[in-house]
Chain A
Amino acid sequence: MTTLTDLSMAEARDGLRARKYSAKELAEAHVAAVERIKPLNAFITATPERALAAAAEADRRLARGEERAMEGLPLAIKDLFCTEGVLTTAASHILDGFKPPYESTVTANLWRAGALMLGKANLDEFAMGSSNMTSHYGPVESPWRRKGDNRALVPGGSSGGSAAAVAARAALGATGTDTGGSIRQPAAFCGIVGMKPTYGRCSRWGIVAFASSLDQAGPLTRNVRDAAIMLGAMAGHDPKDSTSVDTPVPDYEMALTGDIRGLRIGIPREYRMDGMNPEIERLWEQGKAWLRDAGAEPVDISLPHTKYALPTYYIVAPAEASSNLARYDGVRYGLRVPGRTLDEMYENTRAAGFGKEVRRRVMIGTYVLSAGYYDAYYNKARQIRTLIARDFDRAFKVCDAILTPTAPSAAFALGEKMDDPIAMYLNDVFTVPASLAGLPAISVPAGLSGDGLPLGLHLIGRAFDEAGVLKIAHVLERAADFRARP
């Protein structure tokens, strides 16, 4: 028998139903794995008692034949999701001791489907980062190492703890959130699948907000089928989130037919950038060939405003963040550093509570919204965002999905790029356009770099066509046959 922690979510689900093992055994194996990977710092808070209690309930339900879609499946939860009675930090000092009296809609949906929580996964502070280096609780290490080099690598970010936990076989899957690539880039770095659904597909209620018009929850799993299972449980309309969309959630697993014959796959010429890493370029070509071999038809497309996506993103996201983070003021919850006046208390609290990257983005955001700069920055960025979305609308008239690399490189070492925020921001160059347009996108592990690190391919689909994206991703996954393990 394989180790329980090596199972995919689908295998574990079927194994539980076939009574090959109990939910208790499955949970215990993962609780032990969480303990074992402690050196990776993937979790901020482990919740083994909670996992085991939920497993006991799962076993009772399994015994009665009343199992639900994700009965007994252990997950890591990005510590950006509010979980009732469990410390929720957003990896920020400013939320010290914060235990929400409420449960986010997405996690509540998962628990209602029978899944159980192993713990709260580490992340970049307030999900701001691409390396998981900005966490107040310290960086997460990727379980991967370069060939012949034992230096610790970043897992990517901001859902770095989630990706590391899933890649290290400490959780069958994990929730992530993606604002500009925060699910897809760490999935690529850690050799797993990560999907950002369409904006509005999953409720944002109870997720600590970073940039409200971009934030979207999604699954990180070890294969595409698991992503389909987990997304199905997470998604759905929520009247408590006005931006959540009331459209039926299809059975995503059913969409994995393996048949993509006749589908047109757009290859955007603007994504082929000067100085592009040849390994990445080769992988992209390979991906195109795999899909062609499966009967799809690659077509060249143009997304002319691509080059403006990154600067647009780095105006819109900080602008919203500067406002969203104003509530962390020391008045009602979390950290308070006293001062002689109210203003001084604000300054002391926020200076002590926010890390450097968060402060940088709050300041950028405040600046671009300021009188006299608003039109030149924020308003212009909004206009360009519309153009970027229109690029995709046009492209989807001639193709059914778009294939790109996920990230411009494989994982880098801990501490690299920290002195150059622009270089760090470039990590998101391929993922940000789909975020700005609100489109569903997935990263699938597709190959290894020369020094043995995972590389991902990225598929972008039409709004609310997660099923189509998953179907193509599933074919890509089979063709790539990625078996490497950290």
Chain B
Amino acid sequence: MTTHAPHLIRGESGDWEVVIGLEVHAQVTSQAKLFSGAATAFGAEPNTQVSLVDAAMPGMLPVINGHCIEQAIKTGLGLKAQINRRSVFDRKNYFYADLPAGYQISQYLQPIVGKGEIVLDLPDGRGRTIAITRLHLEMDAGKSLHDQHPSQTYIDLNRAGVALMEIVSEPDLRTAEEAGAYVRKLRSILRYLGTCDGNMEEGSLRCDCNVSVRHPGEKLGTRTETKNVNSVRFVMAAIEHEARRQIGVLESGGTIQQETRLFDPATGTTRPMRSKEHAHDYRYFPDPDLLPLELSEAEIERIRASLPELPDDKKKRFIEGYKLSAQDAGVLVAEQAAANFFEAVAAGRDAKLAANWVINELFGRLNAAGKPIDASPVAAERLGALVDLIQDGTISGRIAKDVFETMFETGRDPAAIVEEKGLRQVSDTGALDAAIAEVLAGNADKVAEFKSGKDKLFGFFVGQVMKKTGGKANPGLVNDMLRKKLSS
């Protein structure tokens, strides 16, 4: 019997391999649109952020927004990609009511960014490199509102002209989990770079999932494209469903149609998009209103020099510098704010202890409260101060958890909480002597049992002493002293 590789799906006709490529549309972080000066804020009243260019009034001309170009270059550099010194904006022609000019300005044959890569952080700590095919800039369309009138459609052009980066991966992904990890990692890089806020709920990051299945070693199967999936969870669900659907179709003797599908979050399934009456021929051609975009090496280098430390480098540094596990380092670097928080806590302290407190206590508590790191009630300096109190023996790790709970609720300084609640650890041997003597005297039978060989009772004595001191006794000291007393 052959072993079943974990990334394959077992079917009736044998194992199936899922082949996935993703096209991510990331909204460029920019005050103004790609070709007009109009604003881009989310959630504005319909048609309040529309310039004459966006509305495609007669005689209006697009002018490239230099900031958006810089953002695209930055992103390309962050993806370790080839930046093309010359790129061309093309018109993609089709009629739709929310596409005012009747064409979308995009980049077809000569995109601004070429081949790059993303390293996935897999749960077992391994990295896996996924190739990026290209990144190009394009403008978004407006929005058709079908629910405002019984028989007519309203158009909101606020989004029309907003700059998007389309980031296309090679079909290198093999599981829904990998696809999820890809989107998470891409999102992380974009947020580090400040080129896209990655807000999937507001549509700043949308994903088209290209999925096909095949028996391992066979040539690529026919793919479907599931459009506009807007969360990591949905991306994974859509791929999972689509893969199983395709296997089902193929195993029952059917064939896969190359088609565009939609994911329904309510049912977790995909369905074909309403088939268009006419096949689209986009008639791409270079936009004569825009000159080819020429970039100088100096410009690219200037942007390269401005790049922040990115998650992969940061992770490497955390592993090497702070001696963290790959797992912990991966968790800490996913969000730049979290990594910064950790570094503030770890500064001059035991980094592993700091990482523990940030990941296990703080992240756990923030997750439960549904708060992002930058809304943490516990400031980094205060969490650092708590770690100090543990390190210098003022409080035990146990007590520290109670102190942390109070800090999370009140945001207060840990030292003040310790003083106020009298939580300082008892390391006074005289006081401990008395407590130990009391415990041994009160449990003479257990002492006898212990001496006759029941070693396990040692923990019981420690617990009793801690109880007597209200948990404040220094546990190491209690151990040492008890052992001495019981062996005498």
Contact = CB atoms under 8 A, between A and B. Distances in A.
A242 B88 CA distance: 14
Interface of A: 81-82, 88, 90, 95, 98, 100-102, 104, 204-209, 211-213, 239-243, 319-320, 322-323, 326-327, 329, 331-333, 342-343, 346, 366, 369-371, 374, 378
B93 A332 contact: no
Contacts of A100: 57-59
B283 A209 contact: no
A326 B288 contact: no
Given A100-B57, A242-B290, 6 more contacts: A90-B58, A242-B64, A322-B283, A326-B93, A332-B100, A342-B97
B59 A243 contact: no
B59 A327 contact: no
A335 B315 CA distance: 60
A329 B56 CA distance: 11
Chain B contact residues (Cβ within 8 angstroms of A): what range?
20 to 34
Contacts of B288: 211-213, 243, 320
Contact of A205 (B59, B93, B96, B100): B59
Contact of B285 (A88, A241, A323): A323
Interface string B51-85: 01001111111111000000000000000000000
12 contacts: A81-B59, A82-B59, A205-B60, A208-B58, A208-B59, A211-B288, A240-B63, A241-B61, A326-B93, A327-B101, A332-B57, A369-B283
Given A102-B52, A343-B277, A331 B57 contact: no
B283 A366 contact: yes
Nearest to B35: A242
A243 B58 contact: no
Nearest to B94: A326
B142 to A, nearest CB: 10
A441 to B, nearest CB: 20
Interface string B144-173: 000000000101000000000000000000
B422 to A, nearest CB: 71
A211 B289 CA distance: 10
A374 B91 CA distance: 14
Interface SS of chain A: loop
Among B52, B96, B101, B285, max chain A CB count under 10 A is at B285
Contacts of A207: 59
A322 B288 CA distance: 13
Among A326, A366, A371, A374, max chain B CB count under 10 A is at A326
Given A326-B95, A370-B281, A242 B63 contact: yes
Contacts of B96: 342
Given A319-B285, A331-B97, A346-B95, A95 B63 contact: no
A331 B100 CA distance: 8
Contacts of B61: 204-205, 240-242
A206 B61 CA distance: 8
B155 A331 contact: yes
Given A319-B285, A327-B101, A329-B95, A242 B62 contact: yes
A374 B56 contact: no
A239 B97 CA distance: 29
Among B61, B63, B103, B153, max chain A CB count under 10 A is at B61
Contacts of A239: 63
B281 to A, nearest CB: 5
Contact of A323 (B58, B93, B291): B93
B91 A323 contact: yes
Contact of A332 (B56, B63, B285): B56
A116 B288 CA distance: 32
B97 A326 contact: no
Among B55, B59, B103, B288, max chain A CB count under 10 A is at B59
Nearest to A342: B97
Given A320-B288, A374-B285, A104 B95 contact: no
B268 interface: no
Interface in B307-339: none
B283 to A, nearest CB: 4
